[in-house]
Structure 1
Amino acid sequence: MMVHEPQMRMETLRNNSSNKRKSSYRERRSSNIEIEKVEEVDFSGMALYSLPTTPNLMNIHKLDLSNNNLESIPESLTARMLSLVVLDVHSNQLKSLPNSIGCLSKLKTLNFSNNLLRSLPKTIENCRSLEELNGNFNQLRQLPDTIGFELLNLQRLYVNSNKLALLPYSISHLTNLRILDVRLNCLRSLPDDLENLINLEILNVSQNFQYLVSIPYSVGLLMSLVELDVSYNKITTLPESIGCLRKLNKLSVEGNPLVSPPLDVVEQSLQAVKEYLSEKMNGGHNNKSQVAPKKPSWLGKLVKCGTFNGPIGGDGPRDERGAFSASDYRSIDGLASPKYMGMFSPKRLFSPKSYFAR
């Protein structure tokens, strides 16, 4: 017994060592399996300036890098996340997105709001599964020209609080778009062919302030539109076609120098606005104006003041029907000064609201 005791101890140690190695191997193997099965990685709110070394990212479906101090995303990172569906990098210090983002063919949601981006990489057009794009609170000056031709599955586009002066024409091809939020930009106009946005339910172009002076007639052809916000711009006239929007139940127009519809109509109700615009489109308001007493035309006034070879039908003061004496008018020579030169341009003379209609 004494002779074999060391051998038995040695066997016991060997068995224990072997068991430990097997156990360690099983743990590592189990850990690798768990890593491979991970679908979400959350690095949000960790004050990161750079990304930590990450394991195999091939099977990750959601990556949250929000609320950090990241200034860039490595090209190699997005190139490896081929199964990624949601990428959230909002509230960082990003000045650009990697070109390799175009590799994310399964990406459906991209949130890069509250960063420092001035433009988007053209390769973003390859993310053809995108349904939501959130670029609020950046410094975007333009969107890729052909973005609307490629991102045909896009349903929600948020680019408010940027420096956009124009939206690309291709935006009108986003036939699945339901929400378009472009408030708080520097927009000077909207694309003309908005009627192609057949599923658009919410359109917000408010707070472009002095830049946006009109909206296209095609806005009134958005038959799915439920909410329209054009408040705090420089719009004087709403398109008459808005009267045709049957599903529209919210219209915000405050903060505009509106002339048509007039303020008293706007203050009544949305239905009153719709009726006013519909009636105007059908010529109702024009007919009413024809019933009213006819005012002297600008041509008659010019004739009466002697501009066309002297007054016709007698001299001297006119009667109470609205005629004026020649002394009430300046001669055309007097109006030839630089101050009044624009008054006799063809555009002025043949405008329904001439300088002479007082």
Structure 2
Amino acid sequence: MMVHEAQDQVRMGLTKKKTKRTSIEIEKVEELDLSGLSLDALPKPPINLGIIHKLDLSNNNLQNIPESLTARLLNLVVLDVHSNQLKTLPNSIGCLSKLKVVNFSGNVIESLPKTFENCRSLEELNANFNKLNKLPDTIGFELINLQKLSVNSNKLAFLPSSISHLTNLRILDVRLNCLRSLPEGLENLINLEILNVSQNFHYLDTLPYSVGLLIALVELDASYNRIKVLPNSIGCLKKLRKLSVEGNPLVSPPMEVVEQSLQAVKEYLSEKMNGTYKSPTKKTWLGKLVRYRTFNGVRTRNHDSEGLDVSEYHSLDCIASPRYNIASPRYNMGMFSPRRLLSPRTYFSR
């Protein structure tokens, strides 16, 4: 788009809305919408950027945002630059001390500038579908007001340990990354309601014990990973209403428990943690004989030393070996009666 055409679009995109704060005071809230205009570059705006509260530059072809532009957006609250070709964010983004919502999903950004941590008013960060391979190490120490952190579909191998200091965080979405593990200390996220770590495929093979200490957690999605054992502490999550663990080679809890219900999973893990879990009794060979009606299996008090009434039984067909030919008169079917099978003597005399 030509520069003069872009400038015309800037004028058209600028809208003024009046919001009544009190019966006397009136404040003008400025919004600049330049989305979907196929912009390759941003022209010099013919307005005072200091009055802009919301800037929408989404769905364009922008490869960068000028440092000088961001530095003058001192009152910006919402910044939307999703679906562009941005490779980096300007360092001057750290000047946006009033910024609460930022969306730069659908770009090719590999890392966030260090100054990004100065946006201490930030409440929502959407960085989905980029090429992020790491987050700033101290992000959790600085963005203390963050409530939603969505960084799915990136290349993150680890999350910084400072994440555990985001005590106001309610949603953490890190699916479709390359996560090897989650940081310890997640129990500090006392307001976290939704945790999605799904589809890290062959990388994530364990969850930390602290996941089960997220007292406000309502939804946990750990599907399609390599997790074999869920931490027993998950049995303590009283507010948990949704648990997704399909696509994992689970051993504990076994899939037959998972398929029953969430409550069954919580009870299983709780019993494992308390040491009160008793594995289901396996059917013995004796039970199999009863099942196949070899004998009635009724326990008695006086019939025989084993306490089993074997007076009524069915013959065992098709029992033969090269050594003992049951067709021979010498080895009639009486030799294969349950009394002989149950006898301590396990061979036949000749």
TM-score by length of 2: 0.72
Identity percentage over the alignment? Answer: 78
Q: Does residue 52 of structure 1 match 2:43?
A: yes
Shift of 1:284: 1.3
1:66-85 matches, within 5 Å, as: 66-85=58-77
1:273-288 matches, within 5 Å, as: 273-285=265-277, 288=278
Pick aligned residue for 1:226 from 196, 211, 218: 218
Q: Does residue 98 of structure 1 match 2:74?
A: no
Q: What residue in structure 1 maps to residue 194 of structure 2?
A: 202
Q: Does residue 254 of structure 1 match 2:246?
A: yes
Q: What residue in structure 2 maps to residue 151 of structure 1?
A: 143
Task: Give the counterpart letter for 1:236 in structure 2.
Answer: K
Shift of 1:38: 5.4
Task: Give the counterpart letter for 2:242 in structure 1.
Answer: K
Pick aligned residue for 1:42 from 28, 33, 41: 33
1:116-265 matches, within 5 Å, as: 116-265=108-257
Task: Give the counterpart letter for 1:106 in structure 2.
Answer: K
Aligned-residue Cα RMSD (Å) equals 2.0
Give the 3-state SS of the residue equivalent to 1:284 in structure 2.
Answer: coil
Q: What residue in structure 2 maps to residue 353 of structure 1?
A: none
Q: Taking structure 1 as reference, are residues 38 and 202 closer, same or farther at Cα in structure 2, changes over 3 Å only?
A: closer
In structure 2, distance between residues paired with 1:289 and 1:170: 40
Shift of 1:289: 5.9
Q: Any unmatched runs of 5+ in structure 1?
A: 1-30, 294-358
Shift of 1:52: 2.1
In structure 2, distance between residues paired with 1:283 and 1:174: 33
In structure 2, distance between residues paired with 1:189 and 1:225: 19
Q: Any unmatched runs of 5+ in structure 2?
A: 1-13, 18-26, 284-350
Q: What residue in structure 2 maps to residue 113 of structure 1?
A: 105
In structure 1, distance between residues paired with 2:65 and 2:105: 15
Shift of 1:74: 0.2
Residues 84-137 of structure 1: CA deviation (Å, up to 9, x unaligned):
000000000000000000000000001000000000001010000000000000
In structure 1, distance between residues paired with 2:189 and 2:29: 38
Shift of 1:37: 4.3
In structure 1, distance between residues paired with 2:106 and 2:172: 18
Task: Answer 1 or 2: which has greater helix percent.
Answer: 1
Residues 149-194 of structure 1: CA deviation (Å, up to 9, x unaligned):
0000000000000000000000000000000000000000000110
In structure 1, distance between residues paired with 2:36 and 2:178: 32
Q: What residue in structure 1 maps to residue 263 of structure 2?
A: 271
In structure 2, distance between residues paired with 1:95 and 1:170: 25
In structure 1, distance between residues paired with 2:257 and 2:264: 6
Task: Give the counterpart letter for 1:203 in structure 2.
Answer: L
In structure 2, distance between residues paired with 1:60 and 1:134: 21
Residues 55-106 of structure 1: CA deviation (Å, up to 9, x unaligned):
2100110000000000000000010000000000000000000000000000
Task: Give the counterpart letter for 2:39 in structure 1.
Answer: L
Task: Answer 1 or 2: which has greater strand percent.
Answer: 2
Residues 197-233 of structure 1: CA deviation (Å, up to 9, x unaligned):
0000000000000000000000000000000000000
Q: What residue in structure 1 maps to residue 22 of structure 2?
A: none
**Number of corresponding residues:** 259
Shift of 1:53: 1.9
Give the 3-state SS of the residue equivalent to 2:269 in structure 1.
Answer: helix
Q: What residue in structure 1 maps to residue 348 of structure 2?
A: none
In structure 2, distance between residues paired with 1:39 and 1:192: 43
